[in-house]
Amino acid sequence: MTQIRRTKREEARRLWQLCFGDSDEFLDRYFDRLYREEDVLLAEEGSKAIGHLQFPELALSLGEETLPAGYVVAVCTHPDHRGKGIMRPLLHKALRREKARGDVVSVLLPAEDWLFRYYTSVGGYAPIVNQTRSRRQEDALREEDPPVASPSLVDYLLEVEASQRTPSLLHSRAFWEVITQDFEREEELALQIHRTESGLIDGALFLVKGESELLVQALYGMRPVREALLAEVTRESKLPLTYLLRPSEGGIPEVRAMMRVLDAPRFLEALVKYYPELRLSFTYRDELFPENDGDYLISAVKVERLPRDEEGKSAPKKCLSPAELIAALSDASGRPLACSMRLLFEDPH
């Protein structure tokens, strides 16, 4: 009997669904709009995929700077092959591919708490604040966006996201198309929009319906628009509301994301423009990307770097790995480095 070999796309989808249990409808949308063969890695045994991840390209906004960023998603190993070290080489290969593509950082959102330690150990990722959680409506209203209005929802979301000056992960058009369709079609999700008198969209609310509360996963618009969207929610349900907000707003900061620096000089040069008060001297060692190695001096909105082969006895005593860099920069700035990462493909809670 002839065995039919599945395509890479089919194997990726099969393993994704086996590991995460996502619906055919969601996977149809994702693989139709976002799947790119060159952004997918599989570990295989014979003709069968036993490990999988994808790394689509997004962008990181840092004030006036926008940097290419890789988003590692759907990291999974077949249940029969877990604990065999399959994911380490796959993740390293993805990081190298991201850097070769020009990405400055790589981000991911671990699905479980124990994975934070794993990604730090295996990939050099560092935990980072990506949202705050609040039960106060005033916090959600104070988050207020600039006055933006567009004829379509996706155009509005792209424009309002691009207007942000705080560190944020920016979605592509295809990402927004998949995400908005999820919230429009999935039973436990809801999407509300607000229009101007002329019919343009100037606000949106993304809602996750729980049994005991409603989770506002993202809210966009100026304050009066936000008030109108929230009033509509409270008219339809008496359940209490919880709000997920950008890290710069009120509420309790949450660390649900991780970041891995791929191009240290370029990342630091963009960072000092956003944090001009940053001062730090350190030696950097990156086993995966030794071209980043060297002594770094950050001061006066400038990054000076001495490559490894020019280092002398005066090298800084503080030696940092990629996993330690974010924490050291946070300590030096006197506040946690944070980056808004919302409405991605992990558990909405």
In this predicted structure, what is the pLDDT of residue 309?
58
> Are 28 and 85 contained in the same domain?
yes
Task: For residue 331, give the nearest of 340, 320, 342, 341 by alpha carbon.
Answer: 320
Summarize pLDDT for 249-289 with one digit per residue, the tens.
Answer: 689 999 999 999 999 999 999 999 999 999 999 999 999 99
- Evaluate whether 274 touches 61 at the Cβ level (below 8 Å): no
- Evaluate whether 337 touches 128 at the Cβ level (below 8 Å): yes
pLDDT above 80 (res 115):
yes
Report how far apart, in Å, the C-alpha atoms of 256 and of each of 3, 243, 311, 341 are: 42, 15, 37, 9
In this predicted structure, what is the pLDDT of residue 249?
67
In a domain, residue 340? The reply is no
In a domain, residue 279? The reply is yes
Q: How far apart are CA 61 and CA 241, in angstroms?
A: 29
- Evaluate whether 201 touches 149 at the Cβ level (below 8 Å): yes
In this predicted structure, what is the pLDDT of residue 300?
86
> Are 239 and 189 contained in the same domain?
yes
What band does 306 get if pLDDT is binned at 50, 70 and 90?
confident
For the chain, the C-alpha Rg in angstroms (whole number) is 21
Q: What is the mean pLDDT of residues 303-328?
A: 79
| Range of the structural domain that residue 304 is part of | 259-333
Summarize pLDDT for 9-26 with one digit per residue, the tens.
Answer: 999 999 999 999 999 999
> Are 51 and 83 contained in the same domain?
yes
SS (H, E, C) the chain: CCCCCCCHHHHHHHHHHHHHCCCHHHHHHHHHHCCCHHHEEEEEECCEEEEEEECCEEEEEECCEEEEEEECEEEEECHHHCCCCCHHHHHHHHHHHHHHHCCCEEEECCCCCHHHHHHHHHHCCEEEECEEEECCHHHHHHCCCCCCCECCHHHHHHHHHHCCCCCEEECCHHHHHHHHHHHHHCCCEEEEEEECCCCCEEEEEEEEECCCCEEEEEEEECHHHHHHHHHHHHHHCCCCEEEEECCCCCCEEECCEEEEECCHHHHHHHHHHHCCCCCEEEEECCCCCHHHCEEEEEECCEEEEEEHHHCCCCCCCCEECHHHHHHHHHHHHCCCCECECCCCCCCCC
In a domain, residue 73? The reply is yes
In this predicted structure, what is the pLDDT of residue 13?
97
Task: For residue 102, give the nearest of 126, 71, 67 by alpha carbon.
Answer: 67
> Are 15 and 115 contained in the same domain?
yes
> Are 107 and 47 contained in the same domain?
yes
Domain boundary among 81, 103, 128: 128
In a domain, residue 344? The reply is no
Summarize pLDDT for 166-209 with one digit per residue, the tens.
Answer: 999 999 999 999 999 999 999 999 999 999 999 999 999 999 99
> Are 33 and 121 contained in the same domain?
yes
> Are 32 and 112 contained in the same domain?
yes
Answer positive or negative: Cα dihedral of 21, 23, 28, 34: negative
In a domain, residue 75? The reply is yes
In this predicted structure, what is the pLDDT of residue 46?
85
Q: What is the mean pLDDT of residues 310-337?
A: 84
- Evaluate whether 129 touches 254 at the Cβ level (below 8 Å): yes
- Number of structural domains (the chain) is 3
Q: How far apart are CA 82 and CA 271, in angstroms?
A: 38
pLDDT over 90, % of the chain: 88
> Are 122 and 167 contained in the same domain?
no
Domain boundary among 226, 254, 282: 254
> Are 122 and 140 contained in the same domain?
no
In this predicted structure, what is the pLDDT of residue 250?
83
In a domain, residue 341? The reply is no
> Are 248 and 320 contained in the same domain?
no
Read off the amino acid at residue 207.
Answer: L
In this predicted structure, what is the pLDDT of residue 146?
93
> Are 271 and 165 contained in the same domain?
no
Q: How far apart are CA 324 and CA 260, in angstroms?
A: 10
Domain boundary among 85, 105, 128: 128
> Are 114 and 15 contained in the same domain?
yes
In this predicted structure, what is the pLDDT of residue 47?
82
CA 257 to chain centre: 7
What band does 2 get if pLDDT is binned at 50, 70 and 90?
very low
Report how far apart, in Å, the C-alpha atoms of 187 and of each of 26, 182, 207, 273 are: 12, 9, 11, 43
Report the DSSP pairing between strands 65-71 and 105-108: parallel
In a domain, residue 193? The reply is yes
In a domain, residue 339? The reply is no
Task: For residue 295, give the nearest of 277, 270, 312 by alpha carbon.
Answer: 312
Q: How far apart are CA 330 and CA 77, in angstroms?
A: 33
| CATH code of the domain covering residue 207 | 3.40.630.30
B/e letters for 25-42, b = 16+ CB within 10 Å, e = fewer, are ebbebbeeebbeeebbbb
The average confidence (pLDDT) of the chain is: 93
